[in-house]
Structure formats: C-alpha cells, structure tokens
Amino acid sequence: MKRTVGLCLAFLGLLGILMSCQKKVEGDTYASVLQAFSDPPAEFRSAPLWVWNDRMTTEQIETQLSDFKAHGIGGVFIHPRPGLITPYLSEEWFELCRRAVEVGKGLGMKIWIYDENSYPSGFAGGHVPAEMPEAQGKGLRMHKASILPPHSLRIRPFWSFQKPSPVLRISPKPLPLKAQSSEPGDYYIFVVAYQMPEPWFGGYTYVDLMSRPVTEKFLDVTLNAYKRAIGGSSVSRSRAASRTRPISAR
C-alpha cells in the first residue's frame, strides 16, 4: 500500500514538472516538452546560496557566475556570511551587486538578493541598531521566588504574581525598584531582559521585531537602498538588505 502511494506521488510530481516546462516552450507536442525537460529554462534550474565571505571583486563575480552557468545553475542568491571583508551595504557593495546583475543577465541567469548579512533577518548586519539604539532586542524572563527580591539586585521594573491558594493576584502595574515585601508567598516575577551585544551581530544586539519603527528602519536601510542602487535593473529581489553607513566586517 505504502509503495503504491509513493509511486503515485512520484508520478504526480513528474507530471507537474512536465506541465510547468511545457508552458515555457512553443507548442505542446511531446517532443517539445521532452526538449524543455532535458534543457530547462533558468527558472527551473538550481539556484544556490552564493556565499560572499571574503573581499569580493568584479573578477571573482565574473569567474564564479560563469562557472555556475557552465555547471547548469540557473541563478544564485547573493548571501553575505561571516568572513565578509567588503563593507556590507557600502557603495562598493552595491557596485558589486550591480555588476553581478549585469553579468547574470548576460549569461541568462537569475540574480536574487538575500536580505541580511548572515541571519536572522532584521538587524541589517548591524546597521539598524547602529542607527537606532532603541531597537535593542528584549523579552520577558520569569523567576520564581518566595519573597520579592531586594532592589540591590538591580532588577528592572517588574510585574509579579502571588499565589496564596486559592487566589491568584497580580500587581496592577510594574513594581518600582524599591518595592520589597516581607510577606512570603509564591511569586512569579517577570523581568524585562535586554539582549547584550554579540560579535554575531557586528558588536551590536539583535533587534526588537515587535516594534513597528524597528521594522520600518530595517526596510529603509535594506529594501529601499537596493531599490535606489539597482532599481532600474531587472533584478529579482528576495526580501533584500541595504544602506551605506559602514559597519566593521565580522
């Protein structure tokens, strides 16, 4: 039974590929579909992440794209990674991206843009927290205690739950640092924890993705910058990354 289902799924998958290829050729004969399947257009070929983790040059771009093309690759995703020396989102960076688009067009390849310097998306390789310190990532951290902690622990303002059975009580507003209580109980303290700078984020912190201004800043220094730099080119953009304030390479 399982083998039969597997064979049916494989057949349907092959049929889907053949039907997709058929749309890209003239006519609908078996011979034309077979020809498209044996030599598919660029959009049906592999498109790997093209890692940029060195000082990129126009010579490297031309050589590597030609090599990709020679091995049957239909397109690439420009993907910055740790080790990158070329300043990310600088004018040099955009000039190299423009060159990649030009070479790719000449080779009949699709050039896509990954939206971040490594991952996860949102901090623009350090540009967002550099230009917007208040973008610092934060979250809630829960602690359980039998009494409220003394303010000397440098706890930020917090809410607390107290659970003397059978009643659950919650403080109506954040408690100030000086708040203390000698009354024992089961306290569940939720502290606002702020992320610390890390080398992975270019010496900055990750950002608060729940903040609308942070998202708007990321879009401005990424998508809008690529649009300004390569907007006139027929380049396919996968989310994207951008702007020109230099951040030290990681």
130-144 per-position pLDDT tens digit: 999 999 999 888 777
Give the chain's count of helices (H) and strands (E). Answer: 7, 7
Q: Supply the DSSP symbol for 233.
A: S
Question: What φ, ψ does residue 43 adopt, rounded to 5°?
Answer: -70, -15
pLDDT digits (tens, 9 = 90+) for 59-117: 999 999 999 999 999 999 999 999 999 999 999 999 999 999 999 999 999 999 999 99
CA 246 to chain centre: 19
Q: Is the pLDDT of residue 4 over 60?
A: yes
Q: Is the pTM of this model over 0.85?
A: no
CA angle 233, 238, 240 (to 5 degrees): 80
The pLDDT confidence band at residue 157, using thresholds 50, 70 and 90, is very low
The β-bridge relationship of strands 187-194 and 158-162 is antiparallel
Phi, psi at 122, each rounded to 5°:
130, -25
Q: Which two tokens stand for residue 128?
A: 């967002």
CB 81 within 8 A of CB 51: yes
pLDDT in tens, 25-53: 445 688 888 888 888 999 899 999 999 99
